């Protein structure tokens, strides 16, 4: 079985979708599926990464966040005939358009709707409809996102829910106590960690404001870079929270920070947070979660209220603080949520997720041969 994945970014760039897709490609190749990646990179050329081959295509231009590349078009038509199936990670307008002409069975991985480009989306919608019509199957990452997606309306009979997953073997080396550098720096403090790009939909401003109400023996650490860094830093300063909130910027290895924290919080405020892959990392380390009840977001699928953590109203600093205080202040509750978090991770282990994807490939190829 040979599968060509069409993605946005080449290794080693690692956003949430990239981390998942690289882990998936690694797993597929370990199971005898020849799975390669066609992607947009800083240079042209092919290379290998974590056991799979990828074809990098230098971006020619970016229009409304969508990368375009003449090389990508050329490579696609050269490569696609060598594969049994095309797997597109959406949204990716150029890849979606090209897949209409491959002549191969198509699987769509629906990571999120097109959200921000509302005006241009009206012009793109006919292509998206043709793309979804051609697809044999649409993988959606949570039942909540599938049910709330207006863009998938009319195609839900093709949809199957397979959550994102992570390769536990990659994270396992970071288990244990480590050097406890954070515990030394914040001795006697409970550590509330949040990780993500510093953009509006992540809702970090509400976590910063929540820190005014969080118990005094706790600190809030926010790891990540992005356009809102200066604005968030000013918010910390204005509210005199310099000794309670720390903006870490981009950290080299998030697993080391995840291991040492006491609780993980993702305060996102919109459906742009389609899933929240970082929540899986927190589950692996047994960290209770505090997330927000954003309608349609996969966060509500990952974090089970009262089981692995707490789910509170978005844009509500006091609700965030109350949930954090409740978990950190109740040892019995904390230990129960922590144990449940470790157990919940099994649902998202790449061994389990990847197996479902392979079964789906077999179903699609079997159906296409008989039709």
Q: What confidence tens digit (pLDDT) does each residue in 124-143 have?
A: 999 999 999 999 999 999 99
CATH topology of domain 172-348: Rossmann fold (3.40.50)
Distance CA 270, CA 292 (A): 9
Mean pLDDT over the full length of the chain? 94
Domain 2-165+349-370 has CATH 3.40.50.2000: yes
pLDDT, one tens digit per residue, over 293-302 is 999 999 999 9
Distance CA 357, CA 106 (A): 13
What Rg do the C-alpha atoms of the chain give, in angstroms?
21
Q: Taking residues 174-192, report their average pLDDT.
A: 78
2-165+349-370 and 172-348 in the same fold: yes
Return the pLDDT at 73: 96
Q: State how far the alpha carbon of 50 is from the alpha carbons of 2, 84, 165, 208, in Å.
A: 17, 22, 16, 37
Distance CA 166, CA 14 (A): 13
Query: Structural domain boundaries of the chain?
Result: 2-165+349-370, 172-348
Q: Indicate the pTM of the whole model.
A: 0.94
pLDDT band at 14 (very low <50, low <70, confident <90, very high): confident
Residue 109 has pLDDT above 80, yes or no: yes
Q: Taking residues 71-99, report their average pLDDT.
A: 96
Reading across the β-sheet that carries 289-292, which strands appear in turn?
Answer: 245-249, 218-223, 190-195, 263-266, 289-292, 309-312
Return the pLDDT at 115: 77
């Amino acid at each position: 079985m040979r599968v060509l994945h069409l993605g946005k970014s080449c290794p080693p760039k690692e956003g949430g979708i990239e981390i998942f897709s690289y882990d998936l490609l690694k797993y597929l190749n370990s199971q005898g599926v020849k799975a390669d990646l066609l992607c947009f990179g800083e240079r042209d050329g092919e290379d290998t990464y974590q056991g799979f081959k990828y074809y990098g295509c230098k971006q020619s231009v970016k229009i409304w966040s969508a990368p375009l590349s003449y090389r990508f078009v050329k490579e696609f038509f050269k490569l696609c005939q060598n594969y049994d199936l095309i797997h597109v990670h959406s949204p990716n307008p150029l890849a979606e358009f090209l897949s209409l002409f491959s002549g191969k069975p198509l699987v769509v991985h629906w990571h999120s709707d097109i959200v921000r480009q509302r005006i241009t989306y009206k012009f793109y919608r006919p292509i998206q409809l043709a793309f979804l019509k051609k697809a044999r199957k649409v993988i959606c990452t949570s039942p909540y996102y599938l049910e709330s997606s207006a863009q998938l309306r009319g195609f839900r009979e093709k949809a199957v829910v397979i959550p994102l997953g992570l390769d536990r073997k990659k994270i396992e080396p970071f288990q244990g106590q480590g050097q406890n550098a954070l515990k030394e720096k914040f001795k006697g403090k409970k550590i509330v960690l949040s990780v993500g790009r510093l953009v509006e939909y992540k809702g970090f401003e509400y976590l910063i404001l929540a820190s005014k109400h969080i118990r005094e023996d706790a600190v809030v650490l926010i790891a990540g870079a992005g356009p809102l860094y200066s604005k968030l830093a000013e918010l910390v300063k204005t509210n005199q929270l310099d000794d309670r909130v720390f903006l870490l910027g981009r950290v080299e290895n998030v697993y080391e920070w995840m291991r040492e924290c006491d609780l993980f919080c993702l305060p996102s405020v919109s459906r742009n947070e389609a899933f929240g892959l970082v929540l899986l990392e927190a589950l692996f380390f047994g960290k209770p979660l505090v997330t927000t009840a954003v309608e349609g977001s996969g966060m509500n699928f990952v974090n089970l209220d009262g089981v692995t953590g707490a789910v509170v109203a978005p844009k509500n600093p006091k609700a965030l603080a109350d949930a954090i205080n409740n978990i950190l202040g109740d040892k019995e509750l904390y230990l129960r949520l922590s144990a449940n978090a470790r157990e919940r991770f099994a649902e998202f282990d790449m061994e389990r997720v990847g197996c479902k994807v392979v079964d789906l490939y077999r179903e699609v190829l079997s159906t296409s041969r008989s039709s």
